[in-house]
Amino acid sequence: MFLNPFGLIAQLASVFLYAYSNIIDNYFANTLFKRFTPVIFVSSAFGVLLIPVIFFFDRPHYIAFPLACLLLVSVLIEIGYQYPYYWSLRHLDTSIVISLFSLGKIIVPFLGFFFLGERLEPLQYLGFFMIILSAVALTLDLKKLKLNVAFFLMFLVSLLLSVSSAIQKYLFEQGMGWGTLLIWSAGIQFFIVSTLMLVRQNRNALSSMIESRRSLLRIFIPVEFANWIAWTAGLYALYLLPLSVTKGLGSLQAIVVLVFAFFLKNRAPNFFKEDIGLKSIGKKALFFILIAFGTICIGL
């Protein structure tokens, strides 16, 4: 099966940028955010402000009502998942949270097969499951996660995000352009989150965050920009590649975070909560090889 090289590049870029933003999200979730809605509002505002950039690559079009309803479901999922995600970052290590995103992706090949008609080669399915299972085994500590509410929340989140991705891929196959989906999603998300900002506590939290943590804005703004690029690149990859391939490659995020931690933890210890001892590194190196092999299988 031919895989568009531009789609692969876009998805890998999305993986690296999301890994970077996940690390900073962990830091902010424990130091900056008291309420999550203002953060989601700022992120959605960035998406709207950067809409003109999309016009250089694609022009949006009107969408039919049935497709608009599906898009609304996808947007609601994209908004809703952020609440348990940020909450989990306060209770679990970053790499564990990211690995939990992989759990729900196990249903992706089935969604792709039953709803999108995607058919991958057996070796590609093997590679997909190798990436997911290795990413989970790499960072998942079942003893720590036993009866942990965050585990079940993130599992549900991952399932819903897989459904959202399947909806987005279906919309692409129905003729919706990449720019159309991105711009409409950004606009709808900003409108919905703006209504949540009518709550006084959310407005006060946003004002307090800006005033008391002004020095951190120099970090927050670049991270939001990187997060936006990761989102648009991920959607572009989904536009060009099968759903199963994009989600399989997305599971590389956990290992990217670990690589960042290995090289940067001593320089910026406040941003990382990763064990980089020799025993841990040996275990992680083994699963890194399995993930790399799985990635090769997907690309064949």
3-state helix, strand, coil in the chain (%, to 5): 80, 0, 20
- pLDDT tens-digit series, residues 168-198: 999 999 999 999 999 999 999 999 999 999 9
Write down the pLDDT at residue 190: 96
Helices (H), 32-148: 37-49, 51-54, 65-80, 82-89, 94-103, 108-116, 122-139, 142-145
Write down the pLDDT at residue 141: 61
- pLDDT tens-digit series, residues 93-152: 777 777 777 766 666 666 667 666 767 678 777 877 777 777 677 656 656 555 467 777
Q: Is the pLDDT of residue 248 over 90?
A: no
Q: Give pTM, 2 decimals.
A: 0.80
Q: What is the mean pLDDT of residues 11-19?
A: 91
First to last CA, the chain: 7
DSSP 167: H
Structure tokens at 142: 């079942």
Q: How far apart are CA 98 and CA 231, in angstroms?
A: 16
- pLDDT tens-digit series, residues 263-300: 777 777 667 666 667 777 777 778 777 776 776 676 55
Q: What is the mean pLDDT of residues 17-29?
A: 81
Maximum pairwise Cα distance, the chain: 56
Q: Is the pLDDT of residue 92 over 80?
A: no
Write down the pLDDT at residue 207: 83
Q: What is the mean pLDDT of residues 40-53?
A: 90
How far is C-alpha 252 from the chain's CA centre? Answer: 11
More confident call, 169 vs 216: 169
